[in-house]
Amino acid sequence: MQAQFILSAASAADFPRTGLPEVAMVGRSNVGKSSLINALTKLKIARTSAAPGKTRLANFYKLQYPVPNPQSLYLVDLPGYGYARGGQDSVEEFEVLTRQYFDPAPDSGRRIAGVFHLIDARHPDLPQDAAAFEWLMRTQLPLAIVATKMDKLKQSEQATTVRTLERRLGVRVLPESVMKGTGFDEIVKQIRQWSGRL
């Protein structure tokens, strides 16, 4: 697999229009999205930081899988939500960019293959996440949950958390821990399966 950073989009005009399948990642600030993207791309460029809520851009990465099943796609890192630290304006800006992202014009040359909604396994019941999930469901795109930071749960809580989320939300839940390096294989399989459908 080869990965490269393509661009950071501040508005819809910046989105690439190559027609490559896109898999989007959405989640609350600090959920562990940059860490996961670093792990999946094996690049150290998705900015991880202890000061959440600062990234207001959509970052596009191109992933290329080699033979025997060659595949190219974009992994798209959308701005984190749930942090108003930058003030009302930055919240609005985030909403506009995300709405623009999920509402491509028919002639835009863009194809969204699927969406990962990242949820912190320790906090599966946050109202901001519930609102974001409902919003994402309405796009009618293929959607799966990634339950992040599974290492923070006791062994005995891990399976229950995944099952409870799956039952409540009615979509697939993929557990992962960047700290332990677990869960990536299933995420990559899902990325490739979605992309292969387009």
**List of residues contacting ligand GDP (CB under 6 A):** 27, 29-35, 48-50, 52, 80, 148-149, 151-152, 177-179
Residue-by-residue DSSP string for the chain: -EEEEEEEESSGGGS--S--EEEEEEEBTTSSHHHHHHHHHT-S-SPP-SSTT---SEEEEEEEE-TTS-EEEEEEEPPPBS--TT-HHHHHHHHHHHHHHT---TTS--EEEEEEEEEETT-TT-HHHHHHHHHHHHTT--EEEEEE-GGGS-HHHHHHHHHHHHHHH-S-EEE-BTTTTBSHHHHHHHHHHHHHH-
Least distance in angstroms from the C-beta of 37 to ligand GDP = 8
Least distance in angstroms from the C-beta of 49 to ligand GDP = 5
Least distance in angstroms from the C-beta of 31 to ligand GDP = 4
Least distance in angstroms from the C-beta of 62 to ligand GDP = 19
Taking the least distance from each CB to ligand GDP, the nearer of 110 and 191 is 191
Least distance in angstroms from the C-beta of 105 to ligand GDP = 29
Distance CA 182, CA 140 (A): 29
Taking the least distance from each CB to ligand GDP, the nearer of 32 and 124 is 32
**Dihedral (CA of 19, 44, 118, 56) sign:** negative
Taking the least distance from each CB to ligand GDP, the nearer of 59 and 190 is 59
Taking the least distance from each CB to ligand GDP, the nearer of 74 and 81 is 81
Least distance in angstroms from the C-beta of 139 to ligand GDP = 20
Taking the least distance from each CB to ligand GDP, the nearer of 151 and 166 is 151
Taking the least distance from each CB to ligand GDP, the nearer of 33 and 192 is 33
